[in-house]
């Protein structure tokens, strides 16, 4: 049973690696295609910055700022400390054996952790790129149906595919971590835990909780919120211009022109767009939240039982 649990975790880790390696070239190719999503020098410069920002370990480019370098180094330090702590906790609390199978498991988990590191970073940078794009006032868009703008659809598809792929990777990593936690809970049933042990294990569970909610916010929710923000800004701009023209037509007593503008305003207000959650995204996000919830609840119950005994 113990070996099967480790083998399942190894299989999950290998599937994660295959998905990421298979999807990464496509994602970066799509990133390059964003250069032509909109016309204009301002947008293209921003798209070029995005391509430079997305290079995690590059600190020598023309768009590298002090703040970005600090962010990269801090981000790298946090994930490195998390990897070291998780590896130590897995061995120290006997969640995995100190044999070849256990060491190979830690190596695979380390690789998947690095891939998750890259996934989170890529999505954070893409979300920041969407935020910067949403502030540009020089973008040309469909003034009558903003959501039908070709460049906007390209950005939305990029967010959809990226979030789906990285959500799956994060979900698999979460499931693997839950299996390791389950192994630990079974072992702790017959042992006593000190306050230090409870603190260390609580920290490990807190990391699971943090990345669980981080997955939901960064990979799943934030890009969609920013895309909706962009759409609402465009619709507001169009509505403002149409209303100015309508008021002018009414002042001139030009009923024909006023009717035409009123129809355009009606068409504009009928153009609505939600956060647009795909079925796969919803399924994977709910699975991730449920797995995190069960893992945390099981740990809390075990700690409470140990404390009372």
Out of 32-46, 78-92, 149-163, 192-206, which region has the weakest mean confidence (pLDDT)? 192-206
Give the mean pLDDT of 264-274.
Answer: 87
Q: How confident is the model at residue 235 (pLDDT cuts 50, 70, 90)?
A: very high
Q: Is the pLDDT of residue 1 over 50?
A: no
Q: Is the pLDDT of residue 41 over 60?
A: yes
Out of 75-84, 244-253, 299-308, which region has the weakest mean confidence (pLDDT)? 299-308
Please state the three-class secondary structure of the chain as a single string. Answer: CHHHHHHHHHHHHHHHHHHHHHHHHHHHHHHHHHHHCCCCHHHHHHHHHHHHHCCCCCCCCCCCCHHHHHHHHHHHHHHHHHHHHHHHHHHHCCCCCCCHHHHHHHHHHHHHHHHHHHHHHHHHHHHHHHHHHHCCCCCCCCCCCHHHCHHHHHHHHHHHHHHHHHHHHHHHHHHHHHHHHHHHHHHHCCCCCCHHHHHHHHHHHHHHHHHHHHHHHHHHHHHHHHHHHHHHHHHHHHHHHHHHHHHHHHHCCCHHHHHHHHHHHHHHHHCCCCCCCCHHHHHHHHHHHHHHHHHHHHHHHHHHHHHHC
Q: How confident is the model at residue 243 (pLDDT cuts 50, 70, 90)?
A: very high
Q: What whole-number percentage of the chain has pLDDT above 70?
A: 85
Q: Is the pLDDT of residue 180 over 60?
A: yes
pLDDT tens, residue by residue, 120-151: 787 788 888 888 888 888 888 999 999 889 88
Q: Is the pLDDT of residue 219 over 70?
A: no
- Most trustworthy range by pLDDT among 19-23, 113-117, 252-256: 252-256
């Amino acid at each position: 049973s113990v070996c099967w649990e480790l083998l399942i975790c190894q299989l999950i880790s290998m599937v994660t690696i295959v998905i990421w390696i298979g999807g990464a070239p496509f994602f970066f190719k799509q990133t390059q295609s964003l250069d032509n999503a909109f016309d204009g020098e301002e947008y293209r410069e921003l798209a070029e910055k995005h391509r430079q920002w997305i290079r995690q370990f590059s600190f020598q480019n023309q768009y590298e700022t002090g703040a970005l370098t600090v962010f990269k180094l801090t981000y790298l330090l946090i994930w490195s400390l998390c990897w070291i702590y998780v590896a130590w906790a897995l061995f120290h609390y006997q969640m995995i054996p100190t044999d070849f199978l256990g060491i190979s498991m830690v190596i695979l988990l380390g690789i998947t952790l690095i891939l998750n590191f890259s996934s989170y970073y890529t999505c954070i940078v893409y979300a920041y790129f969407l935020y910067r794009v949403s502030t540009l006032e020089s973008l040309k868009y469909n003034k009558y149906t903003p959501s039908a703008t070709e460049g906007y659809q390209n950005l939305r598809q990029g967010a959809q595919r990226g979030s789906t792929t990285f959500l799956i990777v994060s979900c698999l990593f979460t499931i693997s971590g839950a299996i390791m936690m389950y192994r630990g809970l079974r072992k702790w049933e017959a042992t006593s835990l000190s306050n230090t042990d409870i603190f260390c294990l609580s920290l490990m569970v807190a990391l699971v909780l943090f990345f669980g909610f981080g997955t939901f916010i960064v990979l799943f929710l934030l890009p969609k919120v920013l895309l909706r923000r962009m759409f609402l800004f465009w619709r507001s701009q169009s509505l403002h211009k149409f209303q100015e023209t309508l008021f002018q037509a009414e002042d001139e007593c030009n009923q024909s022109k006023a009717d035409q503008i009123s129809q355009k305003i009606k068409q504009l207000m009928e153009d609505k767009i939600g956060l647009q959650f795909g079925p796969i995204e919803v399924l994977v996000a709910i699975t991730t939240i449920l797995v995190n919830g069960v893992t945390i609840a099981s740990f809390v119950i075990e700690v409470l039982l140990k404390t009372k005994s």
